């Protein structure tokens, strides 16, 4: 058997020594803090192992003080109930401690109590012992702890803690240990101290001290796991939530993100935190050891993956590998595995990490050949490029409405959205640049925005606009046109759009349906401003009124699924302004 720590093993070759009869732990050995360097007896260590079986054994003396069960009398028992042998042994130890520190604690006792302190009388009556322990006054303990240097104060508080669970004593003990011990010892003591605190009795000020100690004593890598573990304790979580409003910024910025992650990611609760706080918490979770993350439920890892995609946006983000790790550990039988893989591939493409995206897409294509998206996206990555635009094959004669500039269909890799790439013709660069400048200045609802611009390898200027829908010209001519309801909506939106352009001083040369796109939602979008020019603003939209009426007449007249009623025809022909025309169309739409 190994010798107790601090003793040398017997020399087998030396003279035989009389074997001392084994005995139980002495009361004087029960508190290792009474004497510097004192060790616990073998029996005490055995008892400690029984109590702490399955838990990490404290590695230092301060932690052992807090990890021991409180060896004291049960203060809830009737004062007339006889003391047990274990309680008597513990009381001897407590009274010896009080005798040594009676001056520090300004303890006032009577003659009978003095005999108990000096060991001249055995503790036999529970009520008398209750009364003597109760004479240790809180103000005297705190005064002594503040007066003594940190190491002595820690020893004093260690003895007090063994028969009193007052949180103030535990916190003060931890603070003194922090000042007087090595970081490793102070950290281990805090870990044990947290287990003893009754957080349902903690004030906001005390909670701030607990959190401050945790932040000071645990390094940056240890904090997230420790705090998440503590937040799983209902009383700790409730105490934190109650004191959250009173936390200083330095603490709130560190702890609040983990509270958000614990609530939303670990438990799937509704989000009551702001976006930045949740994002910080998600990043802290992703920074945990993989083994810790994989021990959580599939539902938790799904939530972490979902929010992790939103949180990790920068190229070469340090947590990208954690997202790949989470994806790898979703079972192949998971019906959503493919969708998650596509989402992660999209994330990497947006972060300009095409190699990582390609690897994921290739794996998905091999796992499920019938899932067409991975193969399609691999084609996009291999296609001809204009920076982050993948150019698609199309007829070479596709032009803008005025026939001045080439238009090519493409995919904007940032979002995998369909786009139009308008490439300026060499002999019409000025017109191209004017259109680009005008579109970049506009912020009018219903007018497409420029997503990107640049110069091709051949030196031709280009710009990119969204192409997420169907050409209005095609919608009006194919499949027998539109129903009356959608046609009225298109007319109403076009009138409002033309009026808005006039109000900001932009004039279109025509309202050819080829300039417009119908989005999947049915909304109208102006995507081709070729030939548009700056003019004096007209808030009433006067110079666009005839174009608006012409547009409505064309769209309604090309109807094949309905007959335009006389009232609607009258609205279009009799209106005198864009506003009047819009009101009439609104009434007809019902």
Give pLDDT tens digits for 161-177. 888 878 888 889 888 88
The pLDDT tens digits for 465-513 are 988 788 888 888 876 668 888 889 999 999 999 999 999 999 999 999 9
DSSP β-ladder status, 385-386 and 506-507: unpaired
Tell me the mean pLDDT in the region 293-297.
91
Alpha-carbon span 65 to 58, nearest angstrom: 9
Q: How confident is the model at residue 63 (pLDDT cuts 50, 70, 90)?
A: low
Count the alpha carbons within 13 Å of 148 in the hemisphere toward its beta carbon. Answer: 23
The residues near 256 (Cβ < 8 Å, ≥ 6 apart) are 244, 247, 273, 277, 281
Tokens representing 532? 């548009």
> Residue 403: pLDDT band by 50, 70, 90 thresholds?
confident
Q: Is the dihedral of CA 192, 195, 196, 198 positive or negative?
A: positive
Q: What is the pLDDT of residue 413?
A: 92
Could you tell me the pLDDT band of residue 60, with boundaries at 50, 70 and 90? low
Please indicate whether residue 452 or residue 65 has the higher confidence score (pLDDT): 452
Closest CA to 130 of 157, 103, 91: 91
Please check the confidence at residue 201 and state whether its pLDDT lies above 50: yes
Rounded CA gap, 375 and 358, in Å?
10
* Pairing of the two strands 417-423 and 389-391: unpaired
Q: What is the pLDDT of residue 259?
A: 93
**Measured distance between the N- and C-terminal CA atoms of the chain, rounded to whole angstroms:** 93
pLDDT averaged over the chain?
82
> Which residues are registered as beta bridge partners of 466?
419
Report the largest interatomic distance among the alpha carbons of the chain, rounded to a whole angstrom.
Answer: 126
Residues 6+ apart with CB under 8 A from 134: none
In whole angstroms, what is the distance from residue 420 CA to residue 118 CA? Answer: 95
Residue 62 has a pLDDT of 64
Band (pLDDT 50/70/90 cuts) for residue 33 is very low
For residue 29, pLDDT over 60 is answered with no
Q: Are 136 and 172 in contact (CB under 8 A)?
A: no
CA dist list (Å): 444 to 71, 501, 540, 580: 76, 7, 16, 21
| Cβ contact 503:443 at 8 Å | no
Distance CA 521, CA 359 (A): 34
Query: pTM of the predicted model, to two decimals?
Result: 0.68
Residue 524 phi/psi, 5-degree rounding, is -90, 135
CB contact at 8 A, 465 and 422:
yes
Q: DSSP letters of 368-419?
A: -TT-HHHHHHHHHHHS-EETTEEEPP--TT-B-TTS-SEEEEEEETTTTEEE
Query: In this predicted model, what pLDDT tens digit does every residue of 88-122 receive, in sequence order?
Result: 988 999 999 999 999 999 999 999 999 999 999 99
Q: Are 332 and 340 contacting, i.e. CB atoms less than 8 angstroms apart? A: no
Confidence of residue 3 (pLDDT cuts 50, 70, 90): very low
450 phi and psi, to 5 degrees?
-80, 125
Specify burial of residue 67 (Cβ count, 10 A radius: 0-12, 13-18, 19+).
buried
Alpha helices in 218-336 (DSSP H): 223-231, 234-243, 249-261, 275-286, 290-294, 298-311, 320-328
Find how far residue 112's CA is from the centre of its chain: 62
Among the listed residues 561, 567, 573, the one whose alpha carbon sits nearest the alpha carbon of residue 587: 567
Do residues 10 and 19 touch, judged by C-beta distance below 8 A?
A: no
Contact assessment for residue 26 and residue 41, using Cβ atoms and an 8 Å cutoff: yes
Q: Determine the pLDDT at residue 75.
A: 65
CB 304 within 8 A of CB 282: yes
Long-range interactions of 242-249: CB distance < 8 A, separation 24+: 242/204, 242/207, 243/202, 243/203, 243/204, 243/207, 243/208, 246/204, 246/205, 246/208, 247/208, 247/211, 248/208
Instruction: List strands edge to edge, sheet with 389-391.
Output: 385-386, 389-391, 406-412, 417-423, 461-466, 450-455
Total length of the chain: 590
Distance (Å, rounded) from C-alpha 381 to C-alpha 361?
Answer: 10
């Amino acid at each position: 058997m190994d010798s107790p720590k601090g003793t040398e093993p017997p020399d087998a070759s030396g003279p035989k020594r009389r074997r001392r009869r084994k005995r139980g732990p002495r009361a004087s050995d029960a508190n290792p803090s009474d004497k510097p360097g004192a060790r616990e007896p073998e029996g005490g260590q055995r008892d400690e192992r029984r109590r702490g079986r399955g838990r990490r054994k404290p590695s230092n003396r301060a932690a052992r003080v807090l990890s021991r069960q409180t060896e004291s009398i049960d203060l809830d028992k009737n004062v007339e109930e006889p003391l047990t042998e274990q309680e008597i042994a513990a009381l001897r130890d407590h009274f010896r401690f009080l005798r040594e520190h009676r001056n520090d604690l300004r303890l006032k006792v009577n003659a009978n109590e003095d005999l108990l302190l000096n060991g001249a009388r055995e503790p036999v009556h529970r009520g008398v012992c209750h009364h003597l322990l109760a004479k240790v006054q809180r103000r005297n303990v705190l005064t002594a702890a503040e007066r003594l240097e940190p190491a002595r104060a820690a020893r004093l508080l260690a003895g007090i803690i063994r028969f009193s669970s007052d949180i103030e004593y535990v916190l003060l003990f931890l603070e003194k240990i922090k000042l007087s011990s090595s970081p490793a010892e102070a950290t281990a003591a805090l870990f044990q101290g947290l287990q003893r605190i009754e957080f349902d009795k903690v004030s906001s000020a005390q909670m701030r001290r607990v959190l401050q100690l945790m932040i000071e004593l645990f390094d940056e890598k240890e904090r997230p796991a420790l705090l998440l573990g503590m937040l799983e304790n209902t009383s700790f979580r409730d105490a934190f939530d109650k004191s959250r409003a009173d936390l200083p910024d330095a603490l709130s910025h560190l702890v609040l993100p983990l509270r958000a992650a614990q609530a939303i990611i670990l438990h799937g609760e509704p989000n009551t935190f702001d976006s930045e706080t949740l994002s910080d918490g998600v990043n802290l979770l992703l920074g945990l050891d993989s083994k810790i993350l994989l021990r959580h439920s599939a539902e938790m890892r799904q939530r972490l993956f979902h929010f992790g995609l939103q949180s990790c946006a920068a190229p070469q983000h340090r947590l990208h590998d954690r997202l790949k790790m989470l994806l790898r550990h979703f079972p192949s039988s998971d019906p959503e595995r493919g969708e998650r893989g596509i989402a992660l591939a999209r994330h990497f493409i947006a972060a300009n990490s095409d190699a990582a995206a390609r690897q994921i897409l290739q794996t998905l294509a091999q796992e499920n050949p019938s899932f067409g998206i991975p193969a399609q996206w691999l084609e996009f990555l291999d296609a001809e490029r204009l920076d982050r635009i993948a150019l698609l094959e199309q007829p070479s004669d596709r032009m803008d409405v005025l026939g001045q500039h080439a238009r090519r269909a493409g995919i904007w890799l940032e979002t995998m959205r369909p786009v139009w790439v308008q490439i300026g013709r060499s002999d019409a660069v000025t017109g191209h640049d004017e259109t680009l400048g005008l579109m970049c200045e506009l912020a009018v609802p219903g007018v497409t925005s420029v997503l990107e611009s640049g110069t091709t390898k051949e030196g031709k200027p280009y710009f990119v606009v969204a192409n997420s829908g169907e050409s209005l010209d095609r919608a009006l001519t194919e499949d027998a046109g539109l129903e009356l309801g959608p046609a009225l909506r298109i007319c109403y939106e076009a009138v409002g759009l033309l009026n808005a352009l006039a109000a900001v001083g932009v004039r279109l040369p025509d309202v050819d349906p080829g300039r417009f796109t119908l989005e999947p939602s049915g909304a109208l979008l102006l995507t081709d401003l070729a030939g548009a020019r700056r003019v004096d603003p007209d808030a009433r939209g006067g110079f666009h009124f005839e174009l608006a009426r012409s547009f409505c007449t064309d769209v309604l007249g090309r109807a094949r699924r309905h007959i335009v009623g006389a009232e609607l025809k009258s609205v279009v022909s009799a209106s005198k302004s864009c506003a009047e025309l819009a009101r009439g169309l609104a009434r007809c739409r019902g």
